Structure 1
Amino acid sequence: MTDVVATTPGLFPLPDWAKSELSDLKGHQKGDLVSGDELPEVTDAYGRAREEMVDEQRGAGLDRVVEGQARWDDMLAHPLTVHENVETGGIVRYYDNNNFYRDPRVVGELTFSGDVGVELDHAVELLDDDPLQTVLPGPYTLANLATDEYYGDEAEFLAAVAEFLAGEIDAFPAHETLYLLEPSLVTNPPGDGRDERASDAIDEVAAATDADVVVHTYWEAFEEKPYAHLMDAGVDAIGFDLVTADREATFECINEYGTKDDIGLGLVDGQNTRVEEPETVAERVEWVHDRVPAAEFDTTYVSHNTEPFYLPVNRHREKLATLAEGARLARSEGVEL
């Protein structure tokens, strides 16, 4: 019988008060923001937003609690845009959504930053005994979103990004799980040769933690070769978008190449304001079992398909409660996956 775990890929919507307050404060912030250079008032506002985000997860009853990523104005590009050897270029579109980030242009060596680790240290102070889940962009996605003006070679740049992320993880506090968000792996899949390098990069990042690692993909389904190579990486689970991606293609990959002992299921829509029923979540978990009859998963992670950043805060909180209750129902019904 699988253990059904309610979680989230992080990147929460900012509370309305924080949007207004931070907009005013950042109007007085001079120059590009580098880790540690924020005005004290900005740091304080992000701290209060973090506390609110942790509280809303604990109140909903999630099984894993994330930091919330309130400071990640540039979405998955954030770990680079706050790095001292990265310059932020113009505003570019974030995948196929009406959201944008500043293009991170890597102009020097990707040395240790520690920015995300500091955020997580603050989150741990709020958790009591709740299990922490850390969140990072996967190396392939982060390299895909960035512009390399230093390394000069695609393979070398990807390796440098992986080494950078692994170094950041070394500074993380103890955590139960690590979600590596890899939408580019399916929206802009690597071709021959690059697919193996992408898997190797993910493997290097995953090896930097003793926690369970979930490589979470979304918006589209896997192509076969990148998926087959990802199966060689030392990760505990692969996460699938079962809301917007082609489900038939997803299950073809799973049934053709197998999957890990754990699985991530993106079952709640992170972009649509319609709030799902907990019973629907539990039914979808069982439905996956019916589509993957040969698998026996140790852990099933149930989450949004995408980051909930796009949602109004009230709908976001309702969906957190749906995830928690849906996972509880699946456990109480004894779903055998």
Structure 2
Amino acid sequence: MTQVVATTPGLFPLPDWAKDELADLKGHQKSDLVSGDEGPEVEAAYDSAREEVIAGQRDAGLDRVVEGQLRWDDMLAHPLAVHDNVDTRGIVRYYDNNNFYREPVVEGDLSADGGDVAAELGAAADLVDDGLQAVLPGPYSLADLATDDHYGDEAAFLDAVADFLVEEVREFPEVETLFLLEPSLVENPPADGEDERASEAVDAVAEAADADVIAHTYWGAIEEKTYAHLMDAGVDAVGFDLVSDHDQNVYNVQEYGTKDDVALGVVDGQNTLVEAPETIRDRIDWFEQQTNTAYDTVYATANTELFYLPVNKFEDKLDALANAADLEEVEA
């Protein structure tokens, strides 16, 4: 019998009060919000916002709770943007949408620098008894979003980014799951030869985690060869964006198989229309029927990060995901 686990890929929208308060504290300087050198008032605002979004996930009834990544103003580039050997330069477009981030330019070794993400997770762990989920950019996507001004070789740079994430993961508190977000596997697929290295980089990060690891891809479907290589990585599940391209994702699974567990992007993280729990369940059931498989675990999630949404719609979508998982339990 399939277990449906309601979760999210994180990167939540800041509560409205926090947006206003942080803008005021930082003098409306967006670039300072994730500088890593924040005063006590700013830290207190983020702490309060973290408590609010964790409580919101608990109230909604999600099975996995994330820290929220509210400080990640540079989105998936954040772990590099706060590194001592990285210079954040001009504003660049975040994939093909109207969001922007500061370009992280790596100018020195990506050695461990204190575990910025691990520290945030530690603060979340104090508020969550069980079901804590970590969120990280996957190594291929993080390398894709960054610029290398130090290593001088794409393969060496990808390895260095993977090693950096491995050290970050080793600093984590106890977590049940880790979502590695890999939209670049879809948006900027690796070339021949690079696809195997990308899979090996994902594998290295997954190997470091004492948790179930999901490599979540979105904004479409992965090219067949890249998907076949990703299946070699030691992750517990691959995530599929059924909102953007359900047919090609199903084809990949039909043709190449997948893990015993699967993550399904069944809620639109960029559209304010709120899906009914029954619609979410129908999408999960449809995927199982099309792939002729009853999975051990289905992670029901939004297809993308959620910072695109107004706070009220974001909260409604959390409720819908949790209620969809409850529907599965009732029907079983």
Secondary structure of the equivalent of 2:9?
coil
Structure-2 separation of matches of 1:145 and 1:36 = 19
Report what 1:319 is aligned to. 317
Report what 1:304 is aligned to. 302
Taking every aligned residue pair, what percent have the same amino acid on both sides? 66
The aligned amino acid for 1:191 is: A
Structure-2 separation of matches of 1:125 and 1:82 = 23
Range moving further from structure 2, 136-145 or 246-255: 246-255
* Residues 1:88 and 2:88 aligned together: yes
Structure-2 separation of matches of 1:193 and 1:28 = 44
Displacement of 1:78 after TM fit?
A: 0.2
Displacement of 1:130 after TM fit?
A: 2.8
Root mean square deviation, CA, Å: 1.4
The aligned amino acid for 1:148 is: D
Q: TM-score, structure 1 length as denominator?
A: 0.96
Structure 1 pair 40–87 and aligned structure 2 pair: CA distance change class (3 A): same
Secondary structure of the equivalent of 1:207?
helix
Displacement of 1:27 after TM fit?
A: 2.1
Report what 1:221 is aligned to. 221
* Residues 1:104 and 2:104 aligned together: yes
Range moving further from structure 2, 58-67 or 26-35: 26-35
* Residues 1:125 and 2:123 aligned together: no
After superposition, the C-alpha distances for 1:203-253 in whole angstroms (9 at most, x for unaligned) are 000000120000001111110000000000000000000011x22211111
Secondary structure of the equivalent of 1:37?
coil
Q: Which stretches in structure 1 are left out of the alignment for 5+ residues?
A: none
Displacement of 1:331 after TM fit?
A: 2.7
Q: Which stretches in structure 2 are left out of the alignment for 5+ residues?
A: none
CA contact (8 A) 2:288 2:295 kept: no
Displacement of 1:2 after TM fit?
A: 1.1
The aligned amino acid for 1:284 is: R
CA contact (8 A) 2:162 2:201 kept: yes
After superposition, the C-alpha distances for 1:143-172 in whole angstroms (9 at most, x for unaligned) are 000000000000000000000000000000
The aligned amino acid for 1:64 is: R
Q: TM-score, structure 2 length as denominator?
A: 0.97
Range moving further from structure 2, 186-195 or 26-35: 26-35
After superposition, the C-alpha distances for 1:281-320 in whole angstroms (9 at most, x for unaligned) are 1111111111011x23111000000011000000100100
How many pairs are equivalent? 331
Displacement of 1:107 after TM fit?
A: 0.4
CA contact (8 A) 1:32 1:88 kept: no
The aligned amino acid for 1:118 is: A
Range moving further from structure 2, 33-42 or 259-268: 33-42
Report what 1:10 is aligned to. 10
Secondary structure of the equivalent of 2:325?
helix
Structure-2 separation of matches of 1:266 and 1:288 = 11
Report what 1:76 is aligned to. 76
Structure-2 separation of matches of 1:33 and 1:153 = 31
Question: Which residues in structure 2 correspond to 1:7-46 (within 5 Å)?
Answer: 7-27=7-27, 36-46=36-46
Secondary structure of the equivalent of 1:219?
coil
Structure-2 separation of matches of 1:181 and 1:315 = 22
* Residues 1:328 and 2:326 aligned together: yes
Report what 2:116 is aligned to. 115
Structure 1 pair 13–32 and aligned structure 2 pair: CA distance change class (3 A): closer
Structure-2 separation of matches of 1:286 and 1:220 = 20
CA contact (8 A) 1:29 1:39 kept: no
Secondary structure of the equivalent of 1:310?
coil
Report what 2:176 is aligned to. 176
Report what 1:203 is aligned to. 203
CA contact (8 A) 2:267 2:303 kept: yes
Secondary structure of the equivalent of 2:258?
coil
Structure-2 separation of matches of 1:180 and 1:31 = 25
